[in-house]
Amino acid sequence: MAPTDENGQVAPPAAPSDNAPPAGPGPGVGADTAPGARMPRWLPRAMVLALALVALFQLGTWAFHQLIGLLINILIAFFLALAMEPAVSRMAARGVRRGLAAFLVFLGLLIAFAGFFTLLGSMLAGQIIKMIEDFPDYLDSVISWINTTFHTELRRVDIQEGLLHSDWLRKYAQNSAAGVLDVSTQVLGGLFQLLTIALFSFYFAADGPRLRRALCSVLPPARQTEVLRAWEIAVDKTGGYLYSRGLMALISGIAHYILLEALGIPYAPVLAVWVGVVSQFIPTIGTYLAGALPMLIAFTVDPWYALWVLVFVVVYQQFENYMLQPKLTSKTVDIHPAVAFGSVIAGTALLGAVGALISIPAVATLQAFLGAYVKRYDVTDDPRVHGHRRRGEGPGLLDRARKAWTATRERAGGRGERSG
């Protein structure tokens, strides 16, 4: 009800006072929520920028996962080009065009690998045919041994019929037929990967100076010197690593050749080369692949020879892992054996077999490059540096033993006096 004056008429509204608070929203309501308030101008742009960054990150992650195979192939090709750099540079210094020098090096490597695998394939084919022809004789000898040892009456005809009519053989044949397409796809993919690595290696080796100039052209002079120094260190360390691997392959091949020739196993030279190359240049599983083939060939001569080959491979592998490899790797690549072992484990965890192969030259390059910038000081002539204790600094082992013996005698004498 509106207020009235003393005559009963409606009183006009009072004029606002100068000290009265301005009209506005009630308590607890901000000014930005008033009707007609506008959104800050920077907020839409910030939201669009955040969404664009998230989308760019997702796109980069997807592209990296899609290109991880290509990036690994390029990394392998780069280290192969570093390994060929000394030979290509030496030929280029004698007047041969760099592209032709790289082609000749590649051609020599291709001829060597093709000849090796051709000899290996012919040997394997001959031995497989021989094993198939001699399989009945092996089976008869095994059956005779079982009958003599366990007093059974097994016959080869019964075993052959059981194998031919077994569900296991039928399922194995079906699975093998179904897996032919997968094996063919993997073989074609492996050939394409080798071709990719070979092409990138050739381009890196042939255009090495151009690549270095392109990289240095975007850097200041001081940085250019550091990049060229790092490149030179990488070439030296990669070459040293391959030299150590080649030397260990030679030693391994000679040792296995002596064993195989002493046992009278056929194709001993080819098998020795196989063991040396595969065990040194195929990481992780190379040792098992290298030892399996000589054992298989030795089994065709005498099953006991296969056991001797297995024992020799295991013993030699331990000798190589704990004595030969640390010494050669530490001298040619100039890293500590423990660092070399740890780098192989880390490389395998990151990139698998590829990481195990290139981890040592990569770590050696990084160590040598960082060593050029780490300031070193002369070590003080302190016996503790060499693992010795200073004289008079503390009781030695003999002094402690003498004190313990004296204390024991004193306690024993005190107990004797109290009992007396």
Per-residue pLDDT reduced to its tens digit, 80-120: 888 888 888 888 888 888 888 888 988 888 888 888 778 77
Instruction: Supply the pLDDT for residue 57.
Output: 94
* Side chain identity, residue 248: M
Residue 45 tokens read as 């742009």
Stretches where the chain sits below pLDDT 70 are 1-37, 124, 127, 131, 160, 163-164, 169, 172-174, 176-181, 183, 283-285, 329-334, 336-337, 353, 369, 371-376, 382-399, 412-420
Residue 350 tokens read as 């990151």
* Contact predicate 238/369, CB 8 Å: no
* Residue 79 exposed, middle or buried by CB count within 10 Å (0-12, 13-18, 19+): buried
CB count within 10 Å of CB 111 equals 10
Distance CA 47, CA 418 (A): 91
Instruction: Supply the pLDDT for residue 216.
Output: 86
The domain segmentation of the chain, as residue ranges, is: 66-218, 220-372
Distance CA 321, CA 371 (A): 27
Distance CA 356, CA 102 (A): 26
Closest C-alpha to 357, from 271, 276, 238: 238
* Residue 293 exposed, middle or buried by CB count within 10 Å (0-12, 13-18, 19+): buried
* Contact predicate 190/70, CB 8 Å: no
* Side chain identity, residue 365: T
Buried b (16+ CB within 10 A) or exposed e, 309-345: beebbeebbeebeeebbbebbbebbebeeebbbebbe
- In eight-state DSSP terms, residue 282 is S
* Contact predicate 399/392, CB 8 Å: no
* Side chain identity, residue 358: I
Closest C-alpha to 241, from 38, 82, 62: 82
- Angle value at C-alpha 281, between 278 and 283, nearest 5 degrees: 95
- Rounding to the nearest 10 degrees, give the CA dihedral for residues 285, 290, 293, 299: -100
Write down how long the chain is.
420
Q: Is 379 left (phi over 0), alpha (psi -120 to 50) or beta?
A: beta
Under 8 Å CB-to-CB from 32, ≥6 apart: which residues?
none
- In eight-state DSSP terms, residue 4 is B
Cα Rg of the chain, angstroms: 40
For residue 10, the SS3 value is strand
Mean pLDDT for all residues in the chain? 76
Give phi and psi for 13, each to the nearest 5. -65, 145
* Residue 148 exposed, middle or buried by CB count within 10 Å (0-12, 13-18, 19+): exposed
Distance CA 47, CA 63 (A): 24
Per-residue pLDDT reduced to its tens digit, 322-368: 787 777 766 666 676 677 777 778 877 787 767 777 777 777 777 77
H/E stretch holding 74: helix 42-93
Residue 266 tokens read as 């056929």
